[in-house]
Structure 1
Amino acid sequence: MIKVKTKNKNLMLIYLKRNLLAIVCIAMVFTACKKNSSDEPTTPPNNNKGIQLATDAKFGSVLTDKDGKTLYFFANDAAGISTCTGGCEIAWPLYYSADASTDLKLNKAEVGEITRTDGRKQSTYRGYPLYYFASDTKAGDIKGDGSGGIWFVAKPDYSLMLANAQLFGNNTNYTSTYAVGTGNTIYLTDNKGRTLYAFAPDKNGVNTYTKGATQEGIWPVYESEVLNVPSAIAKADVGVITVATINKKQLTYKGWPLYYWVSDVKRGDNNGITIKPANAAVGSVWPVLQLNATVAPAP
């Protein structure tokens, strides 16, 4: 039997321990490098493209970009033309994506784009140009809704929208009191920017105009369910009635049944205010339904 001297045995143990410690350190460094490698991200990649839908506790379903940043509508854009230019864009940068939406819940037919007067493209939803709000610093922020009473979070399910625009008919500009002059009026449109009117003789919740298909062909009723409305509109002021003469539902605001004018051929038109008897004032028979309208009189 070969005897190993104690001194040699101790040297061998020290050698083995040092080698083992080196192996452990190398393994730890390799593992740390592997965890930090870009080849193995700690969060899954975002494969979203185009406009997306998100759910907010207060606003419900809202439109966002692919990273979850909230998008907005501007009431001044009811005609489908972007009117936020110059300094306005500092607070409200435009949104554009050339990618088709990957969100299966979104109605792709409602998504479009416009070319602005400065040549840049801007994405739209239901014809409304889309914007960011500069103070929304992260996904999920909705700090811009209601700003100035004319900026609203973009949603896919509004029953009504608001226009902040010039009243115009018979080549003449009118103010909100129907005097000749310039100045924007805040009034109701459908969810695609088409102007809505009241019929002055109507009563609260009662359509007195539509006697049948003839009248309905000239001043069609606005058919819609009560879904959601911009935050400037009190949802309690919106209702639905049944027009028995044509068997259709009609949306109301503050009791006023809502109508279209057949000759408003494009969004933003509000020519119906000039439809009246020869001796009547502009807007006295078919006024646009303004946000601050009084409640319709009782039947």
Structure 2
Amino acid sequence: MRQWRYALFAGVAGAMLFVTGCGGNGSDKADDVVKPAAAGVTASPSTTSSAPTGGDPSSAASLTVAKDAKLGSLVIDGLGMTLYRFDKDVPGNGTSNCNDECAKTWPPVLADDPAATSDINPDLLGTVTRADGRKQVTVGKWPLYRYSLDTKPGDVKGQNVGGVWFAAAPDGKKAGAPRPALSVVDNPKLGKILTDGQGKTLYLFTKDTPWPMKTACDATCLKKWTPSGVVTAADAKAAGLDPKVLFTFTTPNGTKQEAYNCWPAYTFNGDTEAGQTNGQNVGGVWFAIKQDITIDRGKTIPAAKGTPGTSAPSKSGSGSDSGSGSGSDKDTLDPDDLTLNSAGSGY
């Protein structure tokens, strides 16, 4: 049974230190605050059809996320119908390869200006121009379709048809398909950023210290931010990273946490669906980890620039991880300009 689920945006907190070395573990591995779209936004009359099924390619273009017992989170339209992606499309190239008879079976989702609830990162929404000049909605650069044989909300009869049609996950990936332990999402506002095996964005905390490695995320902080799991060298290579960027250290409770260029990685509990970046620039000190990482044992912070919806990180915000309280100079600087001094003790 499906259950509607809307993203909850949560605050954050924290500060505690513990020390471990950032060094011996990296070389032996072989391999905004976001403003979410308002819930319940509807498509314009020109892009909405009252018919839930059939060959009419115009469908309610307000997207949200539903849960399927087997496939997990998947994208549905404003009429509750499952939306699909087509493996023969090429994401981001501006074309759809389902036309004519194909489009009768798989009606494209049409809208000039698609909308979504907060379960879907609005930065991942877009459109491509079809051969007939109409705009088709995309998520994560994948064009979206309905299936004419789905007759009611909850149907997923189009799943795996021909081995090329799949329900779309909230980030445009295939719903229900296994994910690699480490992936890259090309976010239009933040660039190429890292995600974990559930598609959740990986973040760093600029109040942490990379050398010698310390974490400033205490027990209260950890209620909102979860240390990321360890990945392998093969995982890093598959994501386009040099395995030498990986460093592993032990958390206070004895578990292992992955770090990138000596910066510990976390996921944000406010990201409830794959592809969300609700943790970006929280308090001016939490940033998504970018794919392009300089290997210098933490001297360069691999933080993605910007807050979704703006052009750069806030330089006037506070310095606490909850977005309140006083902050140091390092908390309000452009992350790409932050470098440790030679002693590794400050900025």
TM over 0.5: no
TM-score by length of structure 1 reads: 0.41
**Higher normalized helix content (fraction of residues):** 1
Max Rg structure? 1
TM-score by length of structure 2 reads: 0.36
Structure number with the bigger relative contact order (C-alpha 8 A, sep ≥ 6) is 2
